Amino acid sequence: MSYKSYVDREIDQNPHLFNNKTRKIVKTYLKSRGFFDNVLDLSKVLKPIKDTITCLESKTATLADCYLGYIKLAVAIKNIFQDHHLMFYRTCISIFNERFQMFDYDEYLLAYYLHPKYRGIGIKPLQFARVAGIAARLWTTSAKKIDRYILITNQ
């Protein structure tokens, strides 16, 4: 049985799912070649999201794992074929940038850079200065807190 026959049969056997007008639109769309291209691109973007969620559900998940998930998602979005899926590409970029702004904490970048499993894989050379600055700031802040604690406990 061909795919087109299968689509016709399944939609016709489930009349409660669509009214007549919608049924015709759905059949036309499912039979088009563009449908499979769209599903393929969508699956390429959803895979790193699924993998990251699975990873973060483990008891051993770290900030570095989360940051790496974002990097993999960025690569997947960048690899979308822009000529045929420009709107999808732009929407993905927009959503990614909005979410990344919510997530872009220095501590996450430092955790990724220092994690023995990743050791900064994929970080551009200019990012090293940022990472070093983050580490210095956090170290200085921690040292001040320790000094205050020692001072208070010695009184």
As a whole number of angstroms, the distance between CA 10 and CA 1 comes to: 12
As a whole number of angstroms, the distance between CA 79 and CA 17 comes to: 35
17-48: b or e for each residue (b if 16 or more CB lie within 10 Å)? Answer: eeeeeebeeebeebeeeeeeeeeebeeebeeb
Domain ranges of the chain: 8-104
pLDDT in the model for residue 23: 78
How far does Cα 122 stand from its chain's mean position?
16
| Start-to-end C-alpha separation, the chain | 85
The 10s digit of each residue's pLDDT in 44-73 is 888 988 998 898 898 888 877 887 888 888
pLDDT in the model for residue 122: 67
In this structure, the dihedral spanned by the alpha carbons of residues 61, 142, 106 and 117, taken in order and rounded to 10 degrees, is -40
pLDDT in the model for residue 153: 56
Q: Residue 1: pLDDT band by 50, 70, 90 thresholds?
A: low
